[in-house]
Amino acid sequence: MKLTFLGTSAGRPTKARNVTSIALSLPEPQHCFWLFDTGEGTQHRLLGSKLKLNKLERIFITHLHGDHLYGLPGLLTSRSYFEGAVPLQIYGPPGLQAFIDCVFHQSGVHLGYELSITEIVSGQIVTDDFFTVEAAELEHRMQCFGYRVTEHSQPGKLNLPLLKTLGVPSGPMYGKLKQGEDVTLPSGEMIRSSDVVGPPVAGRIITILGDTRPCENAITLSKDADLIVHEGTFAGGMEEKAAAYGHSTVLQAAETAAKANVKQLVMTHFSSRFDDAAIELLVQDAKEIFANVSAAHDYLEINVDRVTSETD
């Protein structure tokens, strides 16, 4: 799984940073990606990446502020020009359907692919063979959600030397054992899956939070995650201003990461008042609270690898 940051500025773009959008590339066999927010210019940022719109499968909108949403109509329209575009599903707060309907009606849009829009409430919103996505409301100036993406655990590794010793022929029996089924050899001997398959490999957890003040739901969504993305709009010492605008400081983002026991924190959504040098200083301040923290920049790519046991 890989995150690609397509926009990392708060409120308005700068010369170096576009407004908010994050892509999550999924592992095989999906061969697709998801988007979290689509600030104005997101499709332009995609042109500078390896991501193709016909491989976009889902979009998750945190809230309806323009710096998280205004790129959506253009992106959806342009996607019709890509051959082989798979059906696209969009999830977001109430009002999203009306926004899209209004823009499409007034501009006469006709899409060349299947589009569905789901206006969400807190709870589980997506589940398939590989992932579950949960949403919860955060604390912002308007209704805003955070998303927790949980990869399902994978079967453990086959003990190939032991299988050879036991005389298990390679082929379908291997597959059954790996999926947890016991098998019987031609000799009548039963081979138990639990004896020849290692422990399951835990799935990865990635949490992407929308704009928010510090709140309990941010901690709950982030609990024990491999990586969380948290806004860092303001510097430490600006807590009063952050609260007034429904945002967090970098120190508050670090506190959330620490309380949630996450492995890695990536901060984004920086106020345009901060240049890259200033943001680096903000990161150093946050490290006093949570060590494994970094600042996102446009086109930053972060791989989130599976954690496997030492015996695998």
**Residues annotated within a binding site:** 63, 65, 67-68, 140, 211, 269
Task: Reply yes or no on whether 298 is catalytic.
Answer: no
Cα distance between residue 137 and residue 149, in whole Å: 15
How many beta carbons lie within 10 A of that of residue 119, not counting itself? Answer: 14
Binding site for Zn(2+), residues? 63, 65, 67-68, 140, 211, 269
Buried residues in 47-58 as b, exposed as e (16+ CB within 10 A): eeeebebebbeb
Q: Which residues pair with 2 in a beta bridge?
A: 25, 303
Q: Check the CA dihedral 106-118-86-27 and report its sign.
A: positive
> In the chain, how long is the greatest CA-to-CA distance?
75
* Residue tagged active-site, from 37, 67, 226, 298: 67
Backbone phi, psi, residue 249, to 5°: -90, 165
Number of residues that make up the chain: 312
Whether the Cβ atoms of residue 51 and residue 26 lie closer than 8 Å to each other: no
Structure-token pair, residue 105: 């009606």
Q: Which residues are catalytic?
A: 67
